[in-house]
Structure 1
Amino acid sequence: MKAIALISGGLDSLLAAKLIQDQGIQIIPLHFKTPFCHYNKDLQEKTRGLALLIKDNLGEDLRDVDIRQEFLGLLEKPHHGFGSHMNPCIDCKILMLAKARQLLKEWQASFVVTGELLGQRPMSQHRQALQLIEKESGLEGILLRPLSAKRLPETIPEREGWVDRNRLSNFSGRTRRPQLELAQSLNLKDYPNASGGCLLTDPEFTKRLKDLIDHHAFCREDVELLRYGRHFRLSTKAKLIVGRNEKENIALEKLARESDFLFYPGEEQAGPTSLGKGVFSEELIEISCAITCRYCDPEGTQDAKIFYRQFPEQAKILKVERMEEEALLRMRI
């Protein structure tokens, strides 16, 4: 008997998978790549770390499915609306579970397991939402939520005796203590204390995303840039992203595409790399140089020579004075 277990990267999904595995079910751990998970590192590093966590605790290889492009399409007009910010939690969960359902036959699995917990999330984990998600994903009767199973209707795996309902949990609400105690009792190693996170619940991130959508620049590459740097709206057709540290400077340079602009100080001056997206007049080039100068070291630098180039052309130099704080704040997203 096999089951597909959705793995978010948080503790709850790991616990759910472990509870079912301990009943003799072979777990197939499945992770969906979206553009908005809380990654402390880049996507590949995050996935490698999650794969090691799953291998250490479940002894299984993590399988990845990339739904980034489909997720962006969903985000433009979610059927069930948004949560408190731009989080389409119900539609997101339906998309993932429907994808998992499509894989059941191919992977010879009989049901799907998730770490959803009754009452934990206000939008997507109240009783009616859980029922709706199960129905619209096409998993009626074969979607098992082990952490709250005793508070939910009996599923086919429980009714048929594939899984012992008495060995499942009855957790509900937002407290984390029961999960942490369960993790210890199951001898999980190096597990995350928190549940999985989503950038679409972050107010600052969603401001940037809304600006992107409002200015019709909604593609995967532009969304990827939202997690880097300081963002400035220069005009309806131009924005600037200023790196906050060396790692972001390198990332912005790597993410530059043909016709994008790069701004950076000379070798004698420490400072950020800035990435310009859109249509840049001479005035906007000068403004971008002044913003870049504003973040040069040492703090308080009044003027600097800033190199700029429209990628991949040769660089030019412009000497500018730093942007004043008041003007800077008017453009900050």
Structure 2
Amino acid sequence: MKRKIFVIALVMAFLISGMNLAGIENGNIGKIGNEKRGMELSYTLDFSKPEITAKQYAEISMKQCNSFISIPGYPLLPELVKVFELPFNARDISVKVSVRGTTTSHIEKKVVAAPARLRLSDGKIVEGGEKSWVYKSHETFPSQWYDYHVGVGLNGHGERVIFVVVHIFPVRYVGGDNELIVAEKAKVSIEYRLRESNCPDEYKLLIIAPSEFASALQPLVEHKNEIGIPALLKTTDEIYASYSGRDEPEKIKYAIKDAIEQYGIKYILLVGGLKSKIYAKPRDNTNAGINGWYVPVRYSNWKYWEGDDPGFITDLYYADVYKYEDGKPVFDDWDSNGNGIFGEWKTSSRDQIDT
């Protein structure tokens, strides 16, 4: 009697932290130190005068900028996003941006506000309307010249690196005075130290599947080994018995992290799917689908600001292995606020996800 499997999902997760960011460019990188105890990277930027299109509102742009500060209802101002790559063994990263040649000028029209968000599920506009307190304030928006984020993932060559994403705001606005403050130059300085690295290269591919699929997958493992892609098969039962975690998806994610560090794994093949379209329950709790799946799935709890989006399945959870915290890459559990709800996003409580 043939056993029918209604859904088998083969997901190739390339262990990347989902870095979908504007402005990845080759910069004019200055001196890079060669001492392992202290490294420095610097980058200098020149900005032209902003272009102002005055209609009902003033629209501000700048040639060197590749994005905008687009917080709904806040002034829509240009920004430059620069992404720097550091070695995975970089530690204690510090980022500073200094600006020079600032000028202040009055403009006749208010700066146009960033548009509201349109929710795709029902077409409803969310967070619409100009934020009047920002336009009446005598404080500068944004409050500083730059911001940055440090993340971990794979670059375009499949190398695991640390990304330093720097957001520079060369145009700032004082709504109450209707003034622009503009920078002519900016210098980015990144300092870090390198830890001695040990890069294992025993396996490239990790296959994770339930025990009942093991024999069927063995020829695939042998084939990968024969063509020069060393492969390792681990069953979910083996993982559950060997790793601790708050639930089954977290145990699998710890196993992936261990495989990266012990064997140098670069690719993950998850072999599973929903056990039945008819009787299987796709979601056991707010965080996961477990009993109805051959390989458990993680659900995000990505709430819109009105809190009515139920979240969705995300294989990115298994790919987003690391985050940068306390000066080094650490396991990213997707529960940064520690309340037991994974991948949460809402006004009062949200998780910081390194994607």
TM-score by length of 1: 0.23
The structure with the largest strand share of the pair is: 2
**Higher RCO structure, 1 or 2 (CA under 8 Å, sep 6+):** 2
The structure with the largest helix share of the pair is: 1
TM-score by length of 2: 0.22
